[in-house]
Amino acid sequence: MTRLLFAKFILPTSSSSPSSLYFASVMCSENVLLGRSVTRSRQRWHAVSQSMEQQLWALIEPVVVDHGFELVELEYVRQKEWLVRLFIERPNVTIVPGLGVAPGEGVGLDDCAKVSRELSAILDVEDVVSHQYRLEVSSPGVQRPLRKWKDYEAFLGCEVKVRSFGPIAAVEPDGANPSRNFSGVLDAVDRDKETIELLVDNRRYRIPLNQIAKAHLDPDMEEWMALAKKRRKESQSG
> pTM score, two decimals?
0.76
Report d(CA 58, CA 126) in Å as an integer. 12
CA count, 13 A, side-chain hemisphere, 41? 6
Query: Is 103 in contact with 163 (CB distance < 8 Å)?
Result: no
Written as tens digits, the pLDDT of the chain (238 aa) is: 334 444 444 434 333 343 333 333 323 223 333 333 445 555 554 555 678 889 999 999 999 999 999 999 999 988 888 999 999 999 989 999 999 999 988 899 999 999 999 999 999 898 888 889 999 999 999 999 999 999 999 999 999 999 999 999 999 998 888 999 999 999 999 999 999 999 999 999 999 999 999 999 999 999 999 999 998 888 787 6
* pLDDT for position 2: 31
What's residue 47's pLDDT? 55
Q: Residue 49: what pLDDT? A: 62
- How far apart CA 151 and CA 123 sit, in angstroms, is 27
CA distances from 211 to 42, 142, 164, 176, 185 (A): 11, 24, 5, 18, 18
- Any idea how long the chain is? 238
**Whole-number Cα distances in Å, 127 to 130, 131, 132, 137, 183:** 6, 9, 10, 18, 39
Enumerate residues 6+ apart whose C-beta is below 8 A from 2.
none
- Return the sign of the alpha-carbon dihedral for residues 101, 105, 110, 111: negative
Instruction: Quote the pLDDT of residue 191.
Output: 96
pLDDT at residue number 21: 31
Domains in the chain, CATH or no CATH each: 9-138 (3.30.300.70), 149-217 (2.30.30.100)
| Dihedral sign (CA 138, 76, 156, 217) | positive
pLDDT of residue 42: 52
Residue 141, Ramachandran bin (φ over 0: left; ψ between -120 and 50: alpha; else beta): left
* Number of CB atoms found within 10 A of residue 213's CB: 15
- Residue 94: partners with Cβ closer than 8 Å, 6 or more residues away: 101, 102, 105
Task: Quote the pLDDT of residue 31.
Answer: 31
- Using only C-alpha atoms, the chain has a radius of gyration, in whole angstroms, of 19
What is the structure's pLDDT at 81? 87
Residue 129: predicted pLDDT: 87
Q: If we measure between CA atoms, which residue out of 127, 207, 133 comes closest to residue 166? A: 207
